[in-house]
Chains A and B, each alone.
Chain A
């Protein structure tokens, strides 16, 4: 307890210009983040960037990570390298927003050591996305917008789950990459997408969030369908797989692929319900 108290005290002391008398927040990885000014925000991942803009705080974003291309206003912001703490510090942020979906925790730690306030989001489900909305709302002073976005997200996810209840349950894999075969394991937001769409994830647990599977898995007769992001990088690899023995069921159509819009389905941000609705629409068209 005593050691924990010292760590807490040091963390609080490291925060830049906290607002006196305001209780600090705890981010989604359990780190304490003091409430303070957020006039110069740097976002280190596309999902976080999309959330900040969705909450109406986009004008305060001074720099973003290289792959932040949505909304259009974010695409025009200066870039920082998320893996390089110096590059982030050069943007003189008073708040840095990171994500467990792609950001290095050691860089986050380095930024904290440099007395920069950093909050990390860890969105592994629609429910966690709702929590992330509230956390960001409190950090950015946009509580009303956060309530609206959180309510809309929760409602859309619940509605999708209700629609999925009318569909037969199917065993599926979420294929992130075709060659090598990389899938989403239980505990990821992709797994939650499958669950909400009435699908049972066949990927094994305990081998990391995105394990590499034996390609023969695609010939397992107990597998009913595959969900995959529809992106340019993945399509040629899929086409190549169709010519191989491992792609036999895919080529014959006995293992259907439900394609979902790539960016909404690959970023655990405000467009995640859109990916879920697209997946459901594909399921309903191919029950």
Chain B
């Protein structure tokens, strides 16, 4: 298949995930009524369900999926490590730990502040990892990953302590944060996610060429005019902001950040500038489809979306890996 054909398949997959998310969505409105709403012929009630309830949820899933996949692609390239993703570096864990802690401790009237806690937790963990990784000769990829592993162990311990001691009525919500969900999506949440997605994406787009050169090695990149230190810092912070925003509005959703960049490299190759937009689109489509399956598999029971993204994505990932040269 040509590159154009692969791109067309990706766009078709993205459009299919959007259409399925709106038409199949939840249990209240069937596909026929939802499609009528999309065509502008449905009752006000059905239009409300499709456009005020399903659309924000779909947009949040698309945005979070794109953010996680972009963060994974940036970190894997920056650290020259195929295992790097927002989870390995502790950024997602920091956001999740702060969010679960806030959810368990805050009075019910202040639970709206949980996303803010997640962003602060992710930012604080990013700063801590960056500080821990700094040695006499600056921060290397190995030191960053080791610091991320240490941060992960610490934040996992906080989450476990919260889950073990949370008041019984708060336990389902605290667990929901650790397993990922788009159930609380609102138009406001989509608006709030936008800067966490758009600003870091602009930073990555600006430094896409530098990122590709850094993948060849810092000396080579420096010889070609890249300042490795500041560029690494900006890309790392952009990836952290993408991950923090995702955790803040959807909890912890695994696999998307790790596997989507690998899937895209197998299909489109290693050119970072060509890869990033495709990674964002693939991450968005995978997450939106994962959320749809999470809602429909046992409808009206809702499964954790993180479980679905892993269950659906891993076999596909393994199949592609086995076929790769």
Residues of chain B contacted by A210 (CB below 8 angstroms): 172
Docked complex: B32-50 residues within 8 A CB-CB of A = 45, 48-49
Interface residues on B, range: 20 to 34
Is A212 a contact of B56 with CB atoms below 8 Å? Answer: no
Is B183 a contact of A181 with CB atoms below 8 Å? Answer: yes
A221 interface residue per 8 A CB criterion: yes
Interface residues on A, range: 20 to 34
Is B27 a contact of A214 with CB atoms below 8 Å? Answer: yes
Is A219 a contact of B169 with CB atoms below 8 Å? Answer: no
Residues of chain B contacted by A237 (CB below 8 angstroms): 108, 111
Is B53 a contact of A246 with CB atoms below 8 Å? Answer: yes
Q: Taking CB as reference atom, which chain A residue is nearest B167?
A: A233
Interface 1/0s, chain A 200-240, versus B by CB < 8 A? Answer: 00001001001111111111110000000000111111001
CB distance from B114 to the nearest CB of A (A): 10
* CA distance in complex: A124, B217 (Å): 65
Is A214 a contact of B302 with CB atoms below 8 Å? Answer: yes
B168 interface residue per 8 A CB criterion: yes
Partner of A220, one of B27, B54, B170, B173: B27
CB distance from A231 to the nearest CB of B (A): 8
B28 interface residue per 8 A CB criterion: yes
Q: Which of B225-233, B281-289, B292-300 contacts A (4 or more CB under 8 A)?
A: B292-300
Is B112 a contact of A102 with CB atoms below 8 Å? Answer: no
* CA distance in complex: A219, B30 (Å): 12
Is B108 a contact of A248 with CB atoms below 8 Å? Answer: no
B176 interface residue per 8 A CB criterion: yes
* CA distance in complex: A214, B301 (Å): 6
Is A204 a contact of B28 with CB atoms below 8 Å? Answer: no
Interface of B with A (CB < 8 Å)? Answer: 25-29, 45, 48-49, 52-54, 56, 107-109, 111-112, 168-170, 172-173, 176, 181, 183-184, 186, 295, 298-302
Interface of A with B (CB < 8 Å)? Answer: 102, 177, 179-182, 204, 207, 210-221, 232-237, 240, 244-246, 248
Could you write out 28 A-B pairs with CB less than 8 Å apart? A177-B169, A177-B172, A179-B183, A180-B176, A180-B183, A182-B172, A212-B172, A212-B301, A213-B301, A214-B27, A214-B300, A216-B25, A216-B49, A216-B300, A218-B28, A219-B26, A219-B28, A219-B29, A219-B48, A220-B27, A221-B45, A232-B108, A233-B108, A234-B169, A237-B111, A244-B184, A245-B48, A245-B186
